[in-house]
Amino acid sequence: MNLRIGADIGGTFTDLILIDDSGKTFQVGKVLTTPDQPDDAVLVGIGQVLAEAGVDPGSISHVVHGTTLLTNALIERKGARTALITTAGFRDAIEIAREHRYDMYDLYLRRPEPLAPRFLRFEIDERLLADGTVRKPLNDGDVRSIITSLKHEEVEAVAVSLIHAYVNDTHERRVAEILSRELPGVAVTISSDLVPEIREYERTSTTLVNVYVKNIAQKYLRRLQHRLREEAGIAGTLFVMQSNGGVCEIDTAVQYPVRVVESGPAAGALAAAHYGGLLGYKNLLSFDMGGTTAKACLIADGEPAVTGEFEVDRQYQFKKGSGLAVKVPVIEMIEIGTGGGSIARVDAMQRLHVGPDSAGARPGPASYGLGGSEPTVTDADLVLGYLDPAFFLGGSMTLNMNDACRAIQHNIGERLNLTLMEAAWGVHQLANESMASAARIHAIERGKDVGKFPIFAFGGAGPVHAYGIAGILGSPRIIYPLGAGVMSAIGFMTAPLSLDFSRTFPGTLNNLDWQGVNNVLNDMEVEGKKALSRIIPAEQVSFQRYADMRYRKQGHEIRVPVPGGILSDSRRGELKTSFMQVYASIYGHTMAETPIDIVSWRVVAQGPKPRVTLPRAKADSSREAESARKGMRQIYLPKQRNTVEAPVYDRYALVLGTVFQGPAIIEERESTVVVNGPGDIRVDEYRNLIVDLLQQG
């Protein structure tokens, strides 16, 4: 029996899952995150799920882990004191960025501060040409003179990003060699190791992000690895979830922590895709709402889309370009600063706002009783009757209704002249509108009609809000999986070993250097097989190829699948057809006569997908929904603008084939399904709740 654990650290809660290959073991857990020492929550949570399942720690084959620690370090600027070494004349390129205003009408536009301040950005008088030719050689003495300044400034990390190093990395490697010898203990990242691709700003920004959090990643992951072995008694391998939807070993995560920045959100999308495949839904909207943020991701044709770039530390929630560019593959989704802990407030113009700032785990929402006094989405949901104060986290935590009412009424109701219920509903509905708007934007940008996609709702707060969001979007159906509150951790269990490789090797489709292309692809595949064969047999490693392609004179590329085997003139048509199909799916048209350029080539090396068997429900014709009813509760129904008594069901007592109607509340330990209106509800063979909303139009 192959027992595995997934552990996902979120901003408010840490989620755990213990499963085996047979599906007989499916133990979930949820504990409050410990921000000062995140691994404390992981150890506590693992101890709980092992004890509840009666499992010996020594039988665990591996642990897959994901964390928001690095994202938070970037946002809160708690990383290393970081310097940048670049080519003479390019010291300010990282601050100039893309040389445009991402919002030309915003007079108070803000950009994130560079991770290396200007006085810690140093220039070397060397120069490579675009083809890799050395125009001006590197002088070792220039590097040593910079080292004197680095020591004086007590720098802890250095990013090296020289112009055109993606073509010729000799200068960067020499700089790194000198730095490592002269500055032992200082983290160093060179761009040609991390992002051997064109575009200087993005390459430099990614290199800075990586080295900025490198020491944090190394200290944290090594400590967790040690504690799992010594304190938890788990000798199995520790893997880390990556942003691209694969997992990697500890050594890779420590060397390239930028690849794991979006680990938790990526896992949630993988879980949605896995469930969609089991249930026959190739197209889904993955909706993950936790304590701090919500994430929406389109699952199209059974897979979440992967993009080659994302941003962290955005200054404006929906404005692309307002964050730090990170050029590594990531599952494409939109993140919204709305979660259960999001703070609601009224501004000077009497407008209600929800988020993006969060009460987090401590002090948390007012109802947590941990010192928080500001109203949050969780407080509003409690006031509306959607949450049971005595059954939060399965009863392991009690919410204070009086504190929630006081916070909502004092901070929202009195300021807007609203009743308590009106104020709470305003917070709940505004959160729904924000998330629905973001999901619609995400879908439109990808040429999809989100209203045709069923919603796969998970996260601790996702099932509370999915019904309202579905109504706004016009979605036909909602799927609520069992264990929805820990679904990202379940997603970890579906992720294969995976590594991404990229190389810039530009050319025109009609006149490609096919020998050069084949050499580039082969080199990446050899590198991928070598890396993964340290963990799995070489014959189990498979490859997916992609090319970054665009029409001539366009500024950006799209990621296009590339066929395997030797490429040549005879296969030009396959590449063109692949590009046209992807382009049309995004933009709705193609330009048949326009020349096509290829900028970069990519290879994804991965192992086989892990086997994940979900527990199945057994049909019991003798039991009906009434037998699972726990009681009745007053909940707020928006159409009635009043509270109505609705049935409350025990999620674990619902059996295959059970059918009932909304309004209804269905409770499990880690989350609560709220159907605050009409809907046909049924239980499928995997114990998912399926809610059909077709009667609402």
* CB burial string 564-582: b at 16+ within 10 A, e below: eeebeeeebeebbebbbeb
Q: List pLDDT tens digits, range 173-192.
A: 999 999 999 999 999 999 99
pLDDT at 361: 67
With cut-offs at 50, 70 and 90, classify the pLDDT of residue 695: very low
543 falls within a domain: yes
Residues of the chain with pLDDT > 70, as a percent, come to 98
pLDDT score at 340: 86
Query: 388 is in which domain, residue-wise?
Result: 342-425
In a domain, 615, yes or no: no
Q: Give dist(CA 478, CA 202) in Å, integer.
A: 38
Give the integer Cα–Cα distance in Å for 165 and 548: 19
Pair 202, 229 in one domain: no
Identify whether the C-beta of residue 472 lies closer than 8 Å to the C-beta of residue 436: yes
Is 501:601 a contact under the CB 8 Å cutoff?
Answer: no
- The CATH number assigned to the domain holding 290 equals 3.30.420.40
Burial status of residue 527 (CB atoms within 10 A of its CB: 0-12, 13-18, 19 or more):
middle
Give the residue from 606, 638, 672 where a domain finishes: 606
Q: What would the mean pLDDT of 610-634 be, rounded to a whole number? A: 79
Q: What is the mean pLDDT of residues 645-671?
A: 91
Cα 628 from Cα 673, distance rounded (Å): 14
| Burial of residue 333, with CB atoms counted within 10 A of its CB: 0-12 exposed, 13-18 middle, 19 or more buried | buried
How many Å apart are CA 644 and CA 665, to the nearest integer? 12
Has residue 638 been placed in a domain?
yes
Q: What is the CATH number of the domain that holds 109?
A: 3.40.1360
Q: At what angle do helices 462-473 and 420-444 cross, to 10 degrees?
A: 70
Are residues 97 and 208 located together in one domain of the fold?
yes
> Do residues 312 and 436 share a domain?
yes
Same domain, 292 and 333: yes
Domain assignment present for residue 477? The answer is yes
Q: How many CA atoms lie within 13 A of 520 on its CB side?
A: 26
Q: What is the spatial distance between Cα 422 and Cα 651, in angstroms, rounded to a whole number?
A: 29
Q: What integer pLDDT is reported at residue 479 of this predicted model? A: 96
Q: What is the pLDDT of residue 568?
A: 93
**Beta carbons of 245 and 262 less than 8 angstroms apart:** no
SS (H, E, C) 451-519: HHCCEEEECCCHHHHHHHHHHHHCCCEEEECCCHHHHHHHHHHHCCEEEEEEEEEEEEHHHCCHHHHHH
Domain count within the chain: 6
Q: Flag the least confident range among 103-107, 315-319, 375-379.
A: 315-319
Asked whether residue 8 falls in the same domain as residue 89, the answer is no
CB 543 within 8 A of CB 525: yes
d(CA 438, CA 85): 38
599 in the same domain as 453? no
Percent of the chain with pLDDT over 90: 62
Q: Count of residues for the chain?
A: 697
Query: SS3 of 65, please?
Result: strand
For residue 618, is it within any domain?
A: no
- Residue 76 makes CB contacts below 8 A (sequence gap 6+) with none
Res 317: pLDDT? 60
DSSP 411: I
- What is the distance between the terminal CA atoms of the chain, rounded to a whole angstrom? 47
Residue 584 lies in a domain: yes
Instruction: Quote the CA–CA distance of 266 and 241 in Å, as a whole number.
Output: 8
Residues 484/671, Cβ–Cβ less than 8 Å: yes
Q: Looking at the structure, do residues 143 and 208 belong to the same domain, yes or no? A: yes
Sorted by sequence, the CB contacts under 8 Å of residue 644 that are 6+ apart come out as 634, 635, 636, 637, 663
Task: Answer whether residue 470 is part of any domain.
Answer: yes
3-state secondary structure of 144: helix
| Phi, psi (degrees; rounded to nearest 5) at 368 | -70, -25
Asked which of 577, 606, 635 is the last residue of a domain, the reply is 606
Residue that is last in its domain, among 391, 407, 425? 425
Cα-based distances in Å from 243 to 67, 247, 333, 491, 579: 11, 9, 11, 12, 24
**Euclidean distance between CA atoms 39 and 7, whole angstroms:** 10
> Could you give phi then psi for residue 542, rounded to 5 degrees?
-120, 165
Residue 697's pLDDT band (cuts 50, 70, 90): very low
pLDDT tens, residue by residue, 84-99 = 999 999 999 999 888 7
3 state DSSP class of 681: strand
Mean of pLDDT values over 281-289: 91
Residues 154 and 247 in one domain: no
Higher per-residue pLDDT: 212 or 261: 212
- pLDDT surpassing 50 at residue 696: no
For residue 174, how far is the Cα from the chain centroid? 35
Domain check: are 303 and 439 in the same one?
A: yes
- Residue 480 and residue 405 in one domain: no
The CATH number of the domain holding residue 505 is: 3.30.1490
* In the block, residue with structure tokens 């410990």: 34
Give pLDDT, residue 1.
57
Dist. CA 246–CA 529, nearest whole Å: 15
CA nearest to 210, candidates 325, 304, 107: 325
Residue 612 lies in a domain: no
Q: Please tell me whether residue 273 adopts helix, strand or coil conformation.
A: helix
Measure the CA dihedral 169/171/172/176, to 10°. 130
328 and 471 part of one domain: yes
Residues 299 and 281 in one domain: yes
In this prediction, residue 192 carries a pLDDT of: 95
Q: Are strands 324-326 and 247-249 parallel, antiparallel or unpaired?
A: unpaired
